Homo-oligomer: A and B are copies of this chain.
Amino acid sequence: MITGAYAHGLDQSPANHVPLTPLGFLDRAALVHPERVAIIHGELQRTWAQTRDRCYQLASALVGRGIHPGDTVSILSPNTPAMVEAHFGIPLSGAILNTINHRLDAEGIAFILRHSECKLLLVDCEYMAVASAALERLEHRPALINIRDHLAAAGADSQVPDYESLLAEGDATFEGVWPSTEWQPIALNYTSGTTGDPKGVVVSHRGTYLMSLLQMTNWSLPQAPRYLWTLPMFHANGWCFTWAITAAAGTHVCLRKVSAETVFDGIAKHQVDHFCAAPTVMAMIANASGFRALPHPVRVLTAGSPPPATVLDAVVSMGFQVDHVYGITEVAGTPISCVWQDGWDGLPDREKAKIRVRQGARAAAFEGLMVADAQTLQPVPHDGQTTGELLLRGNTVMMGYLKNPTATQNAFEGGWFHTGDVAVVHADGYMQITDRCKDVIISGGENISSVEIEDVLHSHAAVLHAAVVAQPDNKWGEVPCAFIELKSETLSPTEAELIAYCQARLARYKCPSRVIFMELPKTATGKIQKFILRQQAGSREAILRLASSG
């Protein structure tokens, strides 16, 4: 501790210590750019002044309906204007914002509503049926609000109170319920369930504020970006871009459903210059048949499961400025990125492609990253070979898992957040994920990286998605089993052809013993659900049944 001259008279006061929160970005955008378009949704456009007022109306109306600080208010919606508004209006009521994955079934939604003790649920009209089915499963049902959307396929259910009527109950001059400390929850995000066991990730005002600034600084976000919502806002609050784009007084271009066509339309019609993309979205773009040249520079952040090098390369060669970042719901965004170094431009294309798939280094605004033995915390050597678990430490890391102190304690063991990802560190200090901890295949005592095999399979012209998991084997313990989704049915290699393709490029013991062709099961954010594939790889009957029905 500090002693001497600095020990006294330098205390915190309301003048010099204010709880960090992303909520203040809204008032500032409305003050500085009241007439700038804040939100575009089809033909609908709203300014920052209008958006600000609607958010405060929402907050005021929620308080009027009896919402208290610490209550959970949930929203089930694709990327619509109401989702942007929810990111300000719900926390400004003092409630915690819980965005729900709209691809979940009624059972999955019911689990979240029950576990989060949700008091009020906003539902996009297209998802009213599944929401109603979820509510039927609950003993304590939250109040229900129906968000009509002129771009939604289904009509609204007239029995349920309407979002616009809710807003009309509110007062735009409401001052908001602001956090009394920055270590208070702002949002609750359930993990997408690659393990089938959803946990409620609680993030703080402090953490999301700092992640917003991290995104702005690490991506050198310009003022007034025109940002396309390809990434679901329900996914870790869209990596905090819901708040960061507001801080930059940019324009949120909403999107109910992502396709290569809607992306190119957004670029052409709305001058979109920034978006984030999961690997599946990158694959859509890479395979877009009617590709039009970009009318202006477009910058893309991509993350998720390690993207195949071929997909990254294809999108880069189309003229997109792609940055490869890494994140996980528990760190509220993407604090790690493969920063392009001086001199790399001169490397051969093959070298560049190899480097581009690395996850890279911590952002300047993130504190700690280490690849280490998860027990001893001994860092691995920077040899690009030795694997360890990726451990993170920083101010954007979650507060913990809701009502799950054991999982929280395990996740933070030793004072580091355990990502569950296996990685190596290259000589230049850049980290590369080689696998999820549970995806490593151990064959005859050797560790095999499923990602390495998947990368080879992705380089095959016919392969759209590839996923490799361990299959029990009497002799070797485990052997690799590959699941393949093809680009089209016109070009369809046989199992033997793909195995031979791998044998020409990989050590023999790493080659898949079996190849199954099917549409791969994915989470709402485009991650392949390996736990389903693992179940299937464990039983030949199950695989055949699924492959024939797929």
A residues contacting B by CB (< 8 A) are 1-18, 20, 24-25, 28-29, 31-36, 69-72, 96, 116-117, 180, 183-185, 202, 207, 210, 213, 216-217, 220-224, 247-249, 339, 341-343, 361-365, 367-368, 392-395, 397-405, 408, 411-412, 415-417, 428-429
Q: How many Å from the CB of A94 to the closest CB on chain B?
A: 9
Q: How many Å from the CB of A428 to the closest CB on chain B?
A: 8
Q: How many Å from the CB of A56 to the closest CB on chain B?
A: 16
Q: How many Å from the CB of A138 to the closest CB on chain B?
A: 16
Q: How many Å from the CB of A150 to the closest CB on chain B?
A: 26
Structural contact, A365 and B417, CB atoms closer than 8 A: no
Structural contact, A35 and B342, CB atoms closer than 8 A: yes
Please indicate the chain B residues that have their CB under 8 angstroms from the CB of A402 in the complex.
Answer: 5-6, 9-10
Of chain B, the residue at the smallest CB distance from A200 is B5
Structural contact, A403 and B5, CB atoms closer than 8 A: yes
Please indicate the chain B residues that have their CB under 8 angstroms from the CB of A33 in the complex.
Answer: 339, 341-342
Q: How many Å from the CB of A365 to the closest CB on chain B?
A: 6
Structural contact, A217 and B247, CB atoms closer than 8 A: yes
Structural contact, B96 and A6, CB atoms closer than 8 A: yes
| A5-B417 contact given A341-B33, A361-B28, A367-B24, CB 8 Å threshold | no
| A9-B71 contact given A18-B395, A213-B217, A361-B32, CB 8 Å threshold | no
Please indicate the chain B residues that have their CB under 8 angstroms from the CB of A4 in the complex.
Answer: 70-71, 117
A-B contact pairs, 24 of them (CB 8 A): A1-B180, A5-B70, A6-B96, A9-B404, A10-B202, A10-B400, A11-B400, A12-B183, A14-B415, A15-B393, A15-B411, A15-B415, A15-B416, A16-B398, A18-B395, A24-B367, A25-B364, A28-B363, A31-B361, A216-B216, A220-B248, A223-B339, A247-B364, A249-B364
Structural contact, A185 and B400, CB atoms closer than 8 A: no
- Counting chain B CB atoms within 10 Å of each CB, which of A9, A403, A405, A428 scores highest? A9
| A217-B248 contact given A185-B10, A342-B33, A361-B32, CB 8 Å threshold | yes
| A395-B10 contact given A28-B362, A213-B213, A248-B364, CB 8 Å threshold | no
Please indicate the chain B residues that have their CB under 8 angstroms from the CB of A14 in the complex.
Answer: 393, 412, 415-416
Structural contact, A6 and B395, CB atoms closer than 8 A: no
Please indicate the chain B residues that have their CB under 8 angstroms from the CB of A411 in the complex.
Answer: 15
Given contacts A9-B401, A15-B397, A220-B248, 12 further A-B contacts (CB under 8 A): A4-B70, A5-B72, A5-B117, A10-B399, A12-B183, A14-B393, A15-B417, A18-B395, A20-B395, A31-B361, A33-B341, A216-B216
Bound-state Cα–Cα, A399 to B202, Å = 31
Contact of A342 among B36, B185, B397 (CB under 8 A): B36
Structural contact, A2 and B221, CB atoms closer than 8 A: no
Please indicate the chain B residues that have their CB under 8 angstroms from the CB of A367 in the complex.
Answer: 18, 24
Bound-state Cα–Cα, A233 to B208, Å = 31
Structural contact, B247 and A9, CB atoms closer than 8 A: no
Please indicate the chain B residues that have their CB under 8 angstroms from the CB of A10 in the complex.
Answer: 185, 202, 399-400, 402, 408
Of chain B, the residue at the smallest CB distance from A342 is B36
Bound-state Cα–Cα, A64 to B249, Å = 49
Please indicate the chain B residues that have their CB under 8 angstroms from the CB of A361 in the complex.
Answer: 28, 31-32
Contact of A412 among B15, B213, B341 (CB under 8 A): B15
Q: How many Å from the CB of A40 to the closest CB on chain B?
A: 15
Bound-state Cα–Cα, A34 to B247, Å = 31
Structural contact, A6 and B70, CB atoms closer than 8 A: yes
Please indicate the chain B residues that have their CB under 8 angstroms from the CB of A405 in the complex.
Answer: 8-9
Contact of A394 among B3, B5, B18 (CB under 8 A): B18
Of chain B, the residue at the smallest CB distance from A391 is B15
Structural contact, B395 and A70, CB atoms closer than 8 A: no
Please indicate the chain B residues that have their CB under 8 angstroms from the CB of A339 in the complex.
Answer: 32-33, 223
Please indicate the chain B residues that have their CB under 8 angstroms from the CB of A11 in the complex.
Answer: 399-400
Of chain B, the residue at the smallest CB distance from A330 is B16
Of chain B, the residue at the smallest CB distance from A72 is B5
| A397-B69 contact given A365-B247, A408-B9, CB 8 Å threshold | no
| A368-B18 contact given A28-B362, A71-B4, A412-B13, CB 8 Å threshold | yes
Structural contact, A31 and B429, CB atoms closer than 8 A: yes
Q: How many Å from the CB of A24 to the closest CB on chain B?
A: 6
Q: How many Å from the CB of A340 to the closest CB on chain B?
A: 9
Structural contact, A70 and B185, CB atoms closer than 8 A: no
In the A-B complex, list the 6 residue pairs whose CB atoms are closest, starting with the nearest.
A14-B415, A16-B397, A10-B399, A2-B70, A247-B364, A9-B405
Please indicate the chain B residues that have their CB under 8 angstroms from the CB of A365 in the complex.
Answer: 213, 247
Bound-state Cα–Cα, A352 to B25, Å = 26
- Counting chain B CB atoms within 10 Å of each CB, which of A362, A368, A392, A399 scores highest? A399
Of chain B, the residue at the smallest CB distance from A22 is B364
Q: How many Å from the CB of A179 to the closest CB on chain B?
A: 9
Structural contact, A417 and B35, CB atoms closer than 8 A: no
Of chain B, the residue at the smallest CB distance from A24 is B367
Bound-state Cα–Cα, A8 to B207, Å = 18
Contact of A17 among B180, B217, B395 (CB under 8 A): B395
- Counting chain B CB atoms within 10 Å of each CB, which of A15, A210, A415 scores highest? A15
